[in-house]
Amino acid sequence: MVSENDRRELRPGCLLSQQDLLKELETSERIFRAGSWSGEKLLGAGYSVRLGDDLLVIPDRPGDSRYTAIRGDNVVPEFTLAPGDTALISTIEKFSFDFDITATIGDKFGLAARGLLVLHGSAVHPGYGRERDEESGIWTPKRDERLYFIVANVGPDSITMRKGDTIAYLQFFDVERVQEKPVVNLGFDHLSRLFRADHHAEDGGLSYFRNVKDLRSEVESERRRIDERISETERKVENNHTEMERRITDTQTAVDRLSNTSNMIVVFGVFLIAATLLGVVLVMLGELIDELSAGMAVWKLAVIGGLGVLYALATVTGVWLVARAANKAVLGRTSGDGAGGRSGAGQ
């Protein structure tokens, strides 16, 4: 440690340069506790604070709604936040600000680029990390005062955070010495309660992000339900379509059958008319022949016999034609019934 005389000159209102900062860190505990800082984290006119492995409140597993407070010997050098997860994190650096120095807290864009939102206050106040010794009345560095931040994974992918990751950027200013009084933060216990880690409850974490996450899973399951309903409706429409086609085919078959039957009736009617006309013609012819030549009994009989045979042949041919038409109609109906029966059984 340096004596008061060897101290660098204070310039109230001025930003500490990297050299000022390094000198302070190497020669005093006016900013951090000795051994808790790293020269590699000096950047420009500032310092990037690092993620610690204790004093954390993190989900039991990525995506879990139960949160556990990590403190003491129970360290966690690495944890993963699923989208929508939140956590309370603390720095490796232990603070012991003197009453004439302050710092502003800034974000790291690298974290934002990974989808990590860091919720933080704006300043580290003069005296942060100091306490008054009751006996001597001297303000001395606290044993273990950290900066706490709340983080939320607002990106689409899981984010793994490891001990030593930079989590915020501080810039330091000299200020006129302020009145010496304790600077308190909300405290790890209070923040643990905010995350419901004290009860290890099912609804841990920051409710806004949890609600967004729950809402998303509800929307997804509702979308799945709607998709299922749409597929079911599509199946029903398909079935109805098939049933409608079957009914149309049945109706078509019935119409065909009716038309066959009516054709058969027409053919039969034509046959009856033809047979009747033929009979009448035959009788008239017989009578004519009988009147014209009474003495020609043999050939007359032969002609009448021939006409009779002709009449019989015509009658048989007519019966055969009607039978064929009837047979077609019956066959058509049978095959139509068979098709209807099959599609009916397929449902």
Binding site for ligand DUT (CB under 6 A): 105, 120-121, 124-125, 128, 147-149, 183, 185-186
How far apart (Å, rounded) are the C-alpha atoms in residues 294 and 297?
7
The residue at minimum Cβ distance from ligand DUT is 121
Residue 120 or 257: the one with the smaller Cβ distance to ligand DUT is 120
Q: Residue 31 phi/psi, 5° resolution? A: -125, -70
Cβ atoms 95, 129 nearer than 8 A:
yes
Region at 47 (left for phi over 0; alpha for psi -120 to 50; beta for the rest): beta
CA distances from 158 to 81, 86, 152, 255 (A): 6, 12, 11, 68
Residue 147 or 159: the one with the smaller Cβ distance to ligand DUT is 147
Residue 5 or 109: the one with the smaller Cβ distance to ligand DUT is 109
Residue 194 or 322: the one with the smaller Cβ distance to ligand DUT is 194
Report the nearest approach of ligand DUT to the CB of residue 98 (Å): 13
Report the nearest approach of ligand DUT to the CB of residue 149 (Å): 5
Report the nearest approach of ligand DUT to the CB of residue 129 (Å): 8
Residue 92 or 183: the one with the smaller Cβ distance to ligand DUT is 183
CB atoms within 10 A of CB 258: 12
Report the nearest approach of ligand DUT to the CB of residue 125 (Å): 4
Residue 68 or 96: the one with the smaller Cβ distance to ligand DUT is 96
Report the nearest approach of ligand DUT to the CB of residue 122 (Å): 6
Report the nearest approach of ligand DUT to the CB of residue 104 (Å): 10
The 8-class DSSP code of residue 151 comes to E
224's tokens: 């799945």
**DSSP codes of every residue in 92-157:** SS-B---TTEEEEEE--HHHHHTTEEEE--SEE-TTBTEEE-TTT--EEE-SS---EEEEEE-SSS
Q: Which residues contact 78 (CB under 8 A, 6 or more apart)?
A: 160, 161, 162, 163
